[in-house]
Amino acid sequence: MNRLRLALPAGLVGLVLLAAWLLPSLLPWDYRVIDWDHVSAPAATPGHVLGTDSVGRDLLSRTLVGTRITMMVAIAAAFVSLIIGVLWGAIAGWCGGKVDALMMRIVDALYALPFMFVVILLMVVFGRSILLVFIGIGAVEWLTMARVVRGQMLALRHRPFILAAEAAGAKAGFIVFRHALPNMAAVILAYLLLTVPQVVMVESFLSFLGLGVQEPMTSLGILVKEGADDMDVYPIALLVPGGVLVTLVVCLTVLGERLRDRWAA
Amino acid sequence: MTSVFRYHGLRVEIAGRAVVQSLDLAIAPGECVALVGESGSGKSQSWMAPFGLSPGIASGEAWLCGEALVGRDEADRSRLRARHVGFVFQQPLTSLSPHLTIAAHLEEAFTQAGGARPDRATLAAALSEVGIDQPQDRLRQFPHRLSGGQRQRVMIAMAIAHQPALLIADEPTTALDATLRREVMAMLTNLCRKRGMAMLLISHDLASVADAADRLIIMRQGEMVEQGPTRDVIAHPGSAYGRDLLAAAPRLDGPAPHRPAIGALLLEARDIAVSFPHPGWRRGRLQAVDQATLTVHEGEALAIVGGSGSGKSTLARAIARLGPCDAGEVSWRGLPLPPRDRIRPAERAGFQPVFQDPVASLDPRWRVADIIAEPARHLGSGVSQQHILAAMAECDLEPMLADRRPHELSGGQAQRVAIARALITDPAMLILDEATSALDVLVAGRVLDLLARLQRERQLALLMITHDLAVARRLCHRILVMDHGRIIEQGDTESLIRSPQTDITRQLVAASH
């Protein structure tokens, strides 16, 4: 039972990812190619298992490729939050005092910025590009990680084994990277898993607004937007990408929470 | 007289392994029975399992006030616990809820077995019964305002509020310092006699229960190795294990242990002062150490003794450059020692600390071999595998422990690892911050033996922080007594113990007898 609590969400996420990376090349129709004979075809049309969209592109193919893009943005953002967030939080927590106060006020200030507004502004200045989406999301997602790591560091700093390391002559960098961070790896990993679904949501939202990924490339957010346009006549185009999105977000959140609970205890 | 609490052939199993075997026990009203043994002897399981407070499965017979405990369902056991039994545990710091006043804690204790809601006078009387002064004021306070000893007294007041027939006290004084231990233990015994309450006392320290218990049961690896009236067991222990337990605790009387010869001046600390900002909103600073001056010579062992909060650890850390130091100078072999943030590796290598909690002072994710090698890695040029194994052998550690991690070690093994780590840079002095007080008596005795051997073989100087004069006497040439951040008395070990000059020292001497 306890094993299933982790295995079930992990398995579902793994299955979706596997399908997104392997399946598109096996399908007869590429996600960009228009099948002029079948426009807005229903599910189970020959060659199109889930039918096609309003311009005749294979829905299954597009959903899988969209999942790929969405997950790539998510993983990239998680990576940024891992690097910047962990370093920022570790330095602030270790140094304490004025350094800590200054670094955490910067985090507070960034938290207070209206994130959507900043991304839209960047798009206006630099033009639309997927790179900006990566940067914009990554720049915001590390804030929570920095707070989590700082809190952990404050708690660990006064543990006897950290003092023992100082007595052994270890330099601050060594203590942080070899003693402190490995002892909070579990918490960091668990919060990292919680970052991924958040980013999936943000990317989908940006794309839904038309600010994210550009046609013919697609993402789960774009697919949901397109599906939503014709949902009264053709609900499957909304339900399939929407279902994948919900499954990913729920599974990753549950996985992250359960890992956090297990390791934090 | 009928027994309040009785076991006949009690057996406790955890995951199919017997942790307690055929234990017999009977406690009459007003009587105190002590269960003594080292950690892992099954002494705590022997009461937790029959009451359904542990995953252990009890079989055999266990009777409480004429009702069977074994084979009852959780609801029955819970009712019996609430009606007839009071519990006191080791951790007074964490057993009280920080957001409730003392009055709220006591009220809950009075009403838990269906009793009427008590008035303020009853609550105050309950507090003064356990020896808390100004009970009316204390009732309004929150737990953090109370000292460790006072919290443990509140726990006891709560445990006996519903007039239980049996009081179970599991290591009730282990977390307290030596002076308080005696007072709290005497108070517990008085309560039992006065109320005719039966008491089951669990402890690893034979000496600490010797005055309190009417009868002793010594347990080892789940089996009863000896039992009988306390006086008989202590005068003529029938088993080898009982003799070991008795001999393990260091004593203030008896012949003075041999102490190695002293060499040249090693460490001198002059006018050390350390202060901390007051916690909370109060202004000003708390003077933790004030004008402390001391010297340590090569091969000399110096003890800094005092109650909790006397500033002894803060002083040692200031000297070892591991804590704040506001004023004063420290010189090492005649040369001034730079402050904490500028100290050089070569200087650090000369003195190494060993801390109180052995498991917490080892990085939980590191292997034992890496833990031991760490100081050499930073302070020297690294060490070979042979060197690590030699250091382990010197501290009586099996080579196979090298690949273990700290949580796989016993308390004694972990403290030996900490000592081996401290020795790897071949220091001239060890700073022992309560290095044996978190350990069982037997284990602590062996660690003290090890330290005595190292002191002899390596001409190692020791700066020993302890609250226990008997431990200090085991190793130290000189003793320095601290109170409220000041050194109030110092002198040669034997003469200081024989003729203490101050009240604080007299209390410490009395507590160690």
Calculate mean pLDDT across residues A153-168.
91
Q: Which of residues 376-405 of B touch A (CB under 8 A)?
A: 377-379
Does A183 sit within 8 Å of B379, measured CB to CB? no
pLDDT score recorded for residue B421: 94
> Hey, what are A115's tokens?
């994130």
Among B49-58, B97-106, B172-181, B344-353, where is mean pLDDT lowest?
B172-181
Number of CB atoms found within 10 A of residue A26's CB: 6
Residue A81 lies in a domain: yes
Q: Per the CATH hierarchy, to which homologous superfamily does domain B251-342+462-513 belong?
A: P-loop containing nucleotide triphosphate hydrolases (3.40.50.300)
For residue A183, list chain B residues with Cβ-Cβ distance below 8 A.
363-365
Residue B221 pLDDT greater than 90, yes or no: no
> Hey, what are A126's tokens?
């630099």
pLDDT score recorded for residue A32: 76
- Which residue of B320, B362, B379 is in closest CB contact with A169? B379
A113: domain CATH number?
A: 1.10.3720.10
pLDDT score recorded for residue B207: 78
Q: What is the widest separation between alpha-carbon atoms in chain B? A: 73
How far is Cα B44 from Cα B71, in angstroms, rounded to an integer?
19
**B355 and A CB contact within 8 Å:** yes
Tokens 């044996």 belong to which residue? B436
pLDDT score recorded for residue A218: 84
Number of independent structural domains in chain A: 1
pLDDT score recorded for residue B337: 93
Does B352 sit within 8 Å of A167, measured CB to CB? yes
> Residue B392: which pLDDT band, with cuts at 50, 70 and 90?
very high
How far is Cα B27 from Cα B197, in angstroms, rounded to an integer?
10
Strand partners, A143: none
Calculate mean pLDDT across residues B309-334.
91
From-to residues of CATH 3.40.50.300 in chain B: 5-248, 251-342+462-513
pLDDT score recorded for residue B251: 79
Cβ pairs A/B, distance under 8 A? 53
Give per-residue pLDDT as tens, B170-183: 888 877 877 788 88
Cβ contact A21:A28 at 8 Å: no
pLDDT score recorded for residue A1: 53
How far is Cα A167 from Cα A165, in angstroms, rounded to an integer?
5
Give per-residue pLDDT as tens, A6-57: 888 889 989 988 988 888 877 877 877 777 777 777 777 777 777 777 777 8
Sequence-separated (6 or more) residues with CB below 8 Å from residue A57:
A29, A31, A32, A33, A34, A35
**B330 and A CB contact within 8 Å:** no
How far is Cα B184 from Cα B159, in angstroms, rounded to an integer?
14
If you average pLDDT over each of A56-60, A107-111, A251-255, which comes out highest?
A107-111
Residue B476 pLDDT greater than 90, yes or no: yes
For residue A159, list chain B residues with Cβ-Cβ distance below 8 A.
360
Residue A158 lies in a domain: yes
DSSP state of A52: B
Cβ contact A90:A153 at 8 Å: yes
Residue A93 lies in a domain: yes
Tokens 């990376």 belong to which residue? A21
List the Cα angle A129/A134/A136 in 5-degree steps.
95
> What predicted TM-score, i.e. pTM, was given to this entire model?
0.79
**Is the torsion defined by CA of B442, B444, B447, B453 positive or negative?**
negative
Cβ contact B97:B178 at 8 Å: no
pLDDT score recorded for residue A205: 79
- Which residue of A167, A174, A183 is in closest CB contact with B365? A183
DSSP state of B188: H
Cβ contact B208:B177 at 8 Å: no
Sequence-separated (6 or more) residues with CB below 8 Å from residue B62:
B6, B7, B8, B10, B50, B68, B69, B70
For residue A171, list chain B residues with Cβ-Cβ distance below 8 A.
378
Q: Which residue of A has its CA nearest to B364?
A: A183
- What is the share, in percent, of chain B residues with pLDDT greater than 70? 98
Arithmetic mean of pLDDT over chain B: 88
Residue B300 pLDDT greater than 90, yes or no: yes
pLDDT score recorded for residue A2: 65
pLDDT score recorded for residue A80: 81
Give per-residue pLDDT as tens, B429-464: 999 998 888 888 888 888 999 999 999 999 999 999
Give per-residue pLDDT as tens, B56-76: 888 888 989 888 888 888 888
For the segment(s) B5-248, the CATH number from 3.40.50.300, 3.60.15.10, 3.10.110.10, 3.30.470.20 is 3.40.50.300
pLDDT score recorded for residue B350: 92
Question: DSSP readout, B358-401?
Answer: TTTTS-TTS-HHHHHHHHHHHHSS---HHHHHHHHHHTT--GGG
State the best of B342, B347, B361, B381 to mutate against chain A, taking most chain A CBs within 10 Å: B361
**CA B277 to mean position of chain CA atoms:** 28
How far is Cα B188 from Cα B156, in angstroms, rounded to an integer?
8
Q: Which residue of B has its CA nearest to A175?
A: B363
Give per-residue pLDDT as tens, A70-118: 888 888 888 888 889 999 999 999 998 899 999 999 999 988 888 777 7
Residue B265 pLDDT greater than 90, yes or no: yes
State the amino acid at position B133 in one-letter form. D
pLDDT score recorded for residue A231: 81
Question: What angle do helix axes A59-80 and A2-22 make, rounded to 10 degrees?
Answer: 120
Residue B465 pLDDT greater than 60, yes or no: yes
Give the structural domain span for A242.
76-264
Residue A175 pLDDT greater than 70, yes or no: yes
Sequence-separated (6 or more) residues with CB below 8 Å from residue A192:
A78, A81, A82, A145, A256
State the amino acid at position A18 in one-letter form. L
